[in-house]
Amino acid sequence: MFKHTIPTFLRVLFPTLTWRVKTQDQAVFLTFDDGPHPQITHWVLQQLKRYQAKATFFCVGENAQKYPELLSAITANGHRLGNHTMNHLSGWSTPNHYYYQNIQACEKVVASNLFRPPYGRITLNQIRNLKRMGYQIIMWDILTRDYDANLPIQQTFTQCMRHIKPGSVVVFHDSEKAQNQLYQLLPLFLQHLSQQGYQFAPLPNA
Ligand SMILES: [Zn+2]
């Protein structure tokens, strides 16, 4: 069992979610969850710039509210914003009406129809309703687990590179918990994938 990919049965169970982008291009889709964070997001933007890489930032609304200048910096640099709820709520343990309210509150700040459920926890009912409300729900096929300080970086990197392919959606976190791992992993990803001829693009509309 690979720690860094999503089991096929989940993709089959939830075919209306985006797990990977259909693309003819040699492109991967880097995503950064849980920010923005004043130092870490700023650092990420600098790294991306060095490779002319574009990405998508799934912001937590309460963080986005605190750092509007970071939101502007993200979009001004050609990246895309996504909604990650106002308060990082799990869809499994939140009443539906409150979950939707929290997502709409976040949308007022980040203005995006891309949505990623925190912890990947969302119910079929919520998926249906959010799609009806116009959201495109973005999952991933490559999870770096950068929030886990116990995972050896080189092993994580090797596993991710073994599974990555054109259209892959990769999850990083611009958060303090992930900072140490992120600061090692992201430069490795950017350098190695660039050498392989990959481009880094923001998520497209469905
Ligand atoms: Zn999150």
Per-residue pLDDT tens over the stretch 13-56: 788 899 999 999 999 999 999 999 999 999 999 999 999 999 99
Q: Is residue 168 part of a domain?
A: yes
Neighbours of 24 (CB within 10 A): 7
pLDDT in tens, 164-177: 999 999 999 999 99
Q: Is residue 150 part of a domain?
A: yes
Q: Are 95 and 66 in contact (CB under 8 A)?
A: no
CA of 34 to the centre of ligand 1 (A): 5
Distance between CA atoms of residues 165 and 161, nearest Å: 8
> Nearest to residue 51, comparing CAs of 201, 190, 198, 196?
190
pLDDT in tens, 50-87: 999 999 999 999 999 999 999 999 999 999 999 999 99
Parallel, antiparallel or unpaired: strands 114-115 and 136-137 = parallel
CA of 116 to the centre of ligand 1 (A): 8
How far apart, in Å, do the first and last CA atoms of the chain sit? 30
Q: Is residue 106 part of a domain?
A: no
Q: Is residue 97 part of a domain?
A: no
Q: Is residue 114 part of a domain?
A: no
Helix boundaries (H) for the chain: 8-13, 40-50, 61-66, 68-76, 96-110, 124-132, 153-163, 179-195
Three-state SS at 169: strand
Distance between CA atoms of residues 63 and 74, nearest Å: 14
Residue 171, beta-bridge partner list: 31, 143
CA of 84 to the centre of ligand 1 (A): 7
Name the residue range of residue 148's domain: 8-79+140-200
Q: Would you state the pLDDT for residue 14? A: 82
CA of 69 to the centre of ligand 1 (A): 21
CA of 58 to the centre of ligand 1 (A): 8
Overall domain count for the chain: 1
State the pLDDT confidence band at 114, using cuts at 50, 70 and 90.
Answer: very high
Q: Which amino acid is at 174?
A: D
CA of 83 to the centre of ligand 1 (A): 10
Q: Is the peptide bond before 36 cis (omega within 30 degrees of 0)?
A: yes
CA of 164 to the centre of ligand 1 (A): 21
CA of 199 to the centre of ligand 1 (A): 25
Q: Is residue 28 part of a domain?
A: yes
Task: Kindly give, in sequence order, each residue whose CB lies less than 8 Å from that of residue 28, ignoring residues fewer than 6 positions away.
Answer: 164, 166, 167, 168, 169, 170, 193, 198, 199, 200, 201
- The CATH number of whichever domain residue 23 belongs to comes to 3.20.20.370
CA of 173 to the centre of ligand 1 (A): 8
Distance between CA atoms of residues 139 and 5, nearest Å: 11
